[in-house]
Amino acid sequence: MEVLSLGYIGIESPAYAEWRSFGPDIFGLAIGEDGADGAVRLRMDDRAYRFAIHPGEIDQLSYIGWELRNSDAFEAGVKQLQDAGYDPVVGDQALADERKVQGVAHFRDPAGFRHEIFYSQTFMPGSFLPGKPSHGFVGDNLGIPHLVLFVPRVTPELKRFATEVMGFQLLAEYPIIAWNGKPGGPSFYRCNGRSHCIGYLGLEGHRGLGHICIEGKSLDDVGKAYDLVQRRHIPINLTLGRHALDTMVSFYCRTPSGFTIEFGWDGETINDESFVQQRPSDYEVWGHERGPGGLPLTVVPVED
Ligand SMILES: [Fe+2]
């Protein structure tokens, strides 16, 4: 399968309504048309939406949407998932309309997270207006930068799912987790010009959504958001810093739905010709000290 980008992400949350102010006020995300169930949908570019926060009883990741090129690629993708034993379910028109795409199929990865493949998401050129005065986001065909999922273990089956089924390329594997020195460190995968689109991080006995990254077009927007987060006493998970891996200058803070958002700038773009598997000697060039936010609240203990 050739995934073009991380196209949309769905979350369930009792605090879904808080996103109507949190998304625009802190980051400059824009409000899109509400979902049929009242979901707050957030835009970061000319696509109809990128994030849908649905009403729900607990804070959790609901689905991850991967964009394929067209209907042919979609049909081939469904066939490949069937052949690999992932039992994809092709969504009906109601689901496609809800997602604002022309075709969608869903399935679960070996760790149990729901993924969707889709094609042809609704957009309108020139329609994006930031939710507060700011320079906007790096998106469009590069999609959402990435998300990181916590799993009890990054198993060989999970790695095969990422590379052989989804067609992602392995960007980097760290031998240990930075903050506890334990094995099961993250593996990061890329699907387009961004350095990575998904990371799986092995933390024994835990599972859930770690963080979602959004990328602004201006360092000032990131700096101003950082000021605002501190003034409002929103828990910071990682202070401002620059990652070695994707060169993103960013900070991480807790959202109303318990997971973490990384708001960054200056993420590296790499292409297929210059791409090599990477192994920085440290996670960080500077900064990114751990803050009081701690582990994302959506990363929960699981029996394993
Ligand atoms: Fe990140």
Q: Is the pLDDT of residue 180 over 90?
A: no
**Cα of 188 to ligand 1 centre, how many Å?**
10
**Cα of 124 to ligand 1 centre, how many Å?**
28
Q: Is the pLDDT of residue 253 over 70?
A: yes
C-alpha dihedral (99, 61, 215, 220), degrees to nearest 10: 120
**Cα of 68 to ligand 1 centre, how many Å?**
23
- The confidence band for 185, taking pLDDT boundaries of 50, 70 and 90, is confident
Token pair for 75 = 């049909």
**Cα of 76 to ligand 1 centre, how many Å?**
30
CA–CA dist 17, 8 (Å, integer) = 19
* Region 77-89 average pLDDT: 98
Q: Is the pLDDT of residue 184 over 80?
A: no
Q: Is the pLDDT of residue 299 over 80?
A: yes
- The confidence band for 179, taking pLDDT boundaries of 50, 70 and 90, is low
Mean of pLDDT over the chain = 95
**Cα of 209 to ligand 1 centre, how many Å?**
12
**Cα of 79 to ligand 1 centre, how many Å?**
31
**Cα of 283 to ligand 1 centre, how many Å?**
11
Please give the pLDDT value at position 48.
98
Give burial (CB, 10 Å; 0-12/13-18/19+) of 84: middle
Q: Is the pLDDT of residue 21 over 70?
A: yes
CA–CA dist 200, 104 (Å, integer) = 23
CA–CA dist 101, 10 (Å, integer) = 14
What pTM did the predictor assign?
A: 0.97
Please give the pLDDT value at position 103.
98
**Cα of 146 to ligand 1 centre, how many Å?**
7
**Cα of 36 to ligand 1 centre, how many Å?**
30
Please report, as a single letter, which amino acid is at residue 53: I
Going through 99-164 in order, the beta strands assigned E by DSSP cover 101-108, 114-121, 146-151
**Cα of 128 to ligand 1 centre, how many Å?**
24
Give burial (CB, 10 Å; 0-12/13-18/19+) of 40: buried
**Cα of 267 to ligand 1 centre, how many Å?**
10
